[in-house]
Amino acid sequence: MYSCKPIRKILTLIVISLFLSLYSTSFAAVAVPDVAATDAAGVERAKAGMALYKANCTACHAIDRKVVGPALAGVWDRWESEEKIVAWVQNSSKLIASGDAYSNKIFNEYNKSVMTAFPQLSAAQVMDILIYIKNPGVADPAAAAAPAGDAAAGSGVANKGASNWYIWALVGFLAVLAILLWSVTSKLDKAVREKAGETVEDVSLDKKIFNKKTFKVLMLIGSILLVVNIFNGAIDLGRSQGYAPDQPIKFSHALHVGQNKIECQYCHSTVEKSKHASIPGTQVCMNCHKYVQQGPKYGKDEIAKIYDYAGWDVDKQKFTEAPKNIEWVKIHNLPDHVYFNHSQHVKVGGIKCQTCHGKVEEYEVMKQFAPLSMGWCINCHRQTEVKFAENNYYSVFQKYQEELKKGTKAKVTVEDIGGTECQKCHY
C-alpha cells in the first residue's frame, strides 16, 4: 500500500519554513493604533507626535525612505517590544552594550554610527511619534496628499527585480505543490483500485511527463519562456528608470522649484547654451543661502554642508576657505555612443524640462523619470510636433512652411525633419 507520509513531511516542512521566514522578518510586537479622523484623542497624539518628529527626527530619518538612518515606516514591526524602542531612542549605546541582538544588528548595519540619544523624550512621547509615523495623514493632511511614489523612487529598480523574484519563487512553489498533489492522488487511486483486485496501469504524473510527448512540449514551452525572459532582461541592461540615489547634500526640488518657484534655468544655467545642463557650483547656492540659513525640513544640517563646501564662515559672514567640489551622484547616464544636446531640445525645440525629467517640482528626491531607451527617444521624435512659429531655426524648411500655410499638411514632426536618422544621435 502506498504511503503518503513522505509527501506530508515535505509539505509540513515547507509550511513551517514559510512561517518561520515570515515570523523572523516581522514579529509585530509593538501595538501602534490606526487613528481615524474621528478619533479625537488619537488625532491629538498624532499631532503631538508630528511636532516631536519634526523637532527631533527629521535630521536623520524620513518616514518612507532611508536617509542617514533607516526609514521609520514599519519600525514597530522590527522591534520585539515597546520598551526596547523607547530604550533605543533614549540611549541606543546602553541598549547596544546590553547585548540586544537587533540593536547590534542595526548598529553594525550603519557602520557602527551611534544614534543621537534623546533622554528628554518620555515613553509616551516616543509612542506619540510612532502614532504619527503610522498615521501622518491624520496629523498633516497635506503630507498625505503628496505623491508617495516619488519619495521612494530610490529603490525603484531594485524593487522591480525583487518583486519579480518573489513572483517566480511563488510560481515555482505552486508548481511543485501541484505536481506533488497530482502524484499523491494518482498513486492513492492506483493503490485503492489494485486492492480491489483491478489491474491498473501506472498513470502517475512522473510516468506521464517523462515517458510521453508531454515532456517535449513542456521543455519547448520552458525554453521559449527562458529565452523571452533572457531577452527582456538583456534589453533592460544599463537602464535605470526610477534610479534615485542618495546625494552628499539633500536637495528638494519640491521645495526649490515647486514651493519657491525657482526656474530650472537659474541653477542649470547652461541648459539653453550647451550640450549639458550643468550642475550649479556652490556660489549659486550661496546667492540665497547667505541669508537662508535654515530649511523647513532638515533645519540647518544640510545647509551647513553647503557652507563647508563653499568655505563660508557663518560667524564671520565671509568666505574663509577655498571652495571644494561637491561630488554629486550622476543620475542620468547615456551610453558613450549616444549624442544628446540639451540646448537643441530646450532652446530650439522648446521642450519643457518635465517632458523628460517628470514633475520635478514634486520630487523630494531627484530620480530618473524616463527609461532613456532608443525606442523611447524615437517614439518622442515621431509624435512631437515641430514649433515653426516664431522660430528662425526652422526657416530653412520652406516646403513644410508652405504646406502648412496651404493646409495640405496638418503638422510637421521631428521625424519629418530627420529626427529618426541614425547619424543624428550616433556619430
Q: How many CB atoms lie within 10 A of CB 354?
A: 14
**Structure confidence at residue 251 as a pLDDT band (50, 70, 90):** very high
Query: Could you tell me if 343 and 273 are in contact, meaning their C-beta atoms sit under 8 angstroms apart?
Result: yes
Closest CA to 63 of 134, 117, 155, 140: 134
Q: Write down the domain spans for the chain.
A: 40-145, 157-235, 373-427
**Which grid cell is 223?**
525554453
Q: What is the mean pLDDT of the chain?
A: 80
**Residue 249 contacts residue 306 (beta carbons within 8 Å):** yes
Q: What is the pLDDT of residues 26-41, one digit of tens each?
A: 444 577 777 776 688 8
Does the pLDDT value for residue 386 go beyond 50?
yes
Residue 346 has pLDDT above 60, yes or no: yes
Q: Using pLDDT thresholds of 50, 70 and 90, give the confidence band for residue 12.
A: low
Query: How far, in Å, are 266, 285, 286 from residue 307 at the CA level?
Result: 20, 9, 8
**d(C-alpha 144, C-alpha 140), whole Å:** 7
Q: What is the pLDDT of residue 90?
A: 92
- Own/partner contacts of 314-319, CB < 8 Å, gap of 24 or more, are 317/290
Over residues 127-150, the mean pLDDT reads 69
Q: Determine the Cα–Cα distance for residues 421 and 297; give it in Å rounded to an integer.
A: 47
Cβ(367)–Cβ(150) below 8 Å: yes
Query: Which amino acid appears at position 188 of this protein?
Result: L
Question: How much is the average pLDDT of 142-150?
Answer: 44
Mean of the pLDDT values across residues 272-278?
91
Task: Kindly state the percentage of the chain with pLDDT values over 90.
Answer: 30
Q: What is the pLDDT of residue 2?
A: 46
User: What is the CATH class of 40-145?
Assistant: mainly alpha
Higher pLDDT, 208 or 241: 241
Per-residue confidence (pLDDT) for residue 10, from 0 to 100: 57
Could you tell me the pTM of the whole model?
A: 0.49
The amino acid that residue 408 corresponds to is: T
| pLDDT band of 177, cuts 50, 70, 90 | confident
pLDDT value for 152? 37
User: Span 288-293, mean pLDDT?
Assistant: 89
Residue 276: name the closest of 360, 354, 341 by CA.
341
E strand or H helix at 302: helix 301-310
